[in-house]
Structure 1
């Protein structure tokens, strides 16, 4: 039956022609009294033409049938494809060459908090923070100039109805047949859990870095501390023997003994600051006083290395709000690095001054200096110019300075020395109330530190 359908046109069209010309043919035969030759030729040509027209009809009919089948399959495929795309948790997108959204699937609303209709036609940068936008531009430029058709980049969507959200974008660059760039298409996948895990890992590494830095600092200060404790202990032992032997002025001996005990207590208190928990407690204090404590702690270690720490500031207090433990940690690390950079001895100049509402702490040494190609890397985790260093000390210091709203500036010259300037916001006179104001970061940690 199917085979017969293939020849429907070639059967029906000639038959139709025969039916149409049959009356004419019969009339001619009766009139002529026979079948003329020319009529036979005419009839053959007409039937051949009818056959060809029927063949064309059959071919067109088959083509239409195939197109109808293809359209049906396409509609089914399109329907299921649309349902599949709409069921994705990932966002499927397309943009034009200017970066404006052309297509977004329904998952966009749950990811960004904005509806598809209100987003279409907008530039993609409207939905992300500036840092992410710069990252996208950088990744796009690299892919475009290198001839790559794909790139990946992490994006932080702007705060919307849902709040901020981290997504990973897989982007394909689209070109027309002439090689002209016409837009992009790709997928956005939510990566909030991954980003939170990365942040926790960074915080953990930072905590470990602080702990490691403190332990390293404590170990390097051990020689100086031992010297600071041994001298008072020797004096105490001597005066106790004098008292035991019946010395005349026992009260004077007692005063000296208590003085030496207080000296030991001061050194031990400075050491204990290094082992306290890292929860920050911001107090309004005199920065110079804290710097004096650090100098006292490091002075013996410096003298053992033939180094003098010069304090280029007066006794007039300079107030700022800071965590004393953390700022001392910063000063200890920087001055300790200066000591280590001067194997042949020298001077360290410590300056503190206030200018235009800011407090400047300057540490200048006469050490070996830092190579220019390494200067930009100073403060990066695990970067160090020392053979035995961990590269964590200054990284921790810079983080602490940043948390105090400060900035760091470093200049250095080989064989001449290095200068590090820390700049902090000062506490203005009209902001002080005559007492130390406490601002605890983390109530639980602050209570534990008490």
Structure 2
């Protein structure tokens, strides 16, 4: 019987996994510089967490969650996004009581959504995201955006566009909500069933509908910008001012609403302008979600964050023809000749690895020529040749595979010899 991988998932095999590791290491490094700390949450949570946190009018909750009953008849859901879990962890672990505020968190891990698989859209996908909880300063909004843009740019992406909007505070949103209801209600029967359900619950979500995006009422819908009260407009101006000081360019888009119910004030998306990237150009998005912590049972706490898909990031890199500088070589390959040398190589290889030298040897009883071919395939920087005669002399021949230079080295000193040579190549 042959087993196939489930639809909407992928195997990340050697040769590709190194790209993921490189991106993840870059993400961790930029978080270190911005003073964000890793949070790891369960892959599944109680279903109500996402119903309350993400919003029951969203496509995620209504159509895309992987939900199941466990043996205790509890409803559990594989996490479809990271913010709800992060806020739940923030409340459960009383991080709001920490002396250092805001609490700045990041996560990297798999998420799950049941949707039609397509390029850059998987049923299991990996998100990198950050959350900053505990500050109402517009500068932290700009910082979150700067971190996202910075990671893309440090990986080499150039064809980026940042779209920015404000959804306003509760008062502004309520005024805008009433205007949207008045606008859409007379002709709501012309819209899809999802939009009809959203009219009273969350009419802002109608603007995010993919089915009815070409309807004429979409183009004439009231703009949130016209309903921002003085406080919301001032807050948004401070966010833009901070971005200007950071030399981060942005495009104002009053139709940008994001797909989750918990957003207010700042909302943003980062798009790829690369030719051939695809119809879905969004790389990442996020925004402010004041009120979500209270919804999870915590104290009144402001928050802002974003999430990006690693899969879509890889697509953008490919579209721009960017090759990541992933290390594909090893430091040393031990070639053996003779039974005694083959047995002794076990200890030698272990010694080199313990010294921090990436090392490989033959496990298929290949001839010397075959071992050298294997070393070439692995792009080994050095080959250490050990025969029975070398063992008698207590030495080993080390060959530089680029220059061809070869030198006899004491077996006791081979680790330090290779370490020095590798440091010289690295310019240390």
TM-score bracket for the superposition, by shorter chain length: under 0.3
Q: Higher relative contact order by CA 8 Å / sep ≥ 6: 1 or 2?
A: 2
**TM-score, normalised by the number of residues in structure 2:** 0.17
* Structure of larger gyration radius: 1
Higher helix share: 1
